[in-house]
Amino acid sequence: MNYKINHIAQLIGRHRSTVYRELKRCPANQYIAQDTQEVANQSARHKGRKPKHTTKLLEDIQGKLDRTWSPTQIIGRDYQGKRFFKSIYKWIY
């Protein structure tokens, strides 16, 4: 059966734009709710904020702290222009 989007939206009690968005996420021509949800869940796993500092950077800073460098020395020498002076202090304390 080929229902219009407006009719489907009325039947399920949703706005037509919601139905359009749901159909848009559908990977195939035929809508299968479970498959579409699975694709959405896979995509959602890759979302999120990227880390500010790389593992290599943190290891480098930790190594310098272990050698009793102060945060000021670390920033002043190798990371001039980067703004994470406060981050190092938060990390220490």
Helix axes 55-66 and 71-78, enclosed angle (nearest 10): 130
Cα-to-chain-centroid distance, residue 43: 10
pTM (2 decimals)? Answer: 0.43
Q: What is the CA radius of gyration of the chain?
A: 25
pLDDT digits (tens, 9 = 90+) for 24-72: 877 677 888 888 888 888 888 878 777 777 888 889 888 988 999 888 7
**How far apart, in whole angstroms, are the C-alpha atoms of residue 34 and residue 36?**
5
Domain ranges of the chain: 5-45, 55-92
Alpha-carbon span 75 to 54, nearest angstrom: 16
Q: What is the pLDDT of residues 72-89, one digit of tens each?
A: 788 776 666 666 767 777
pLDDT at 13 over 90: yes
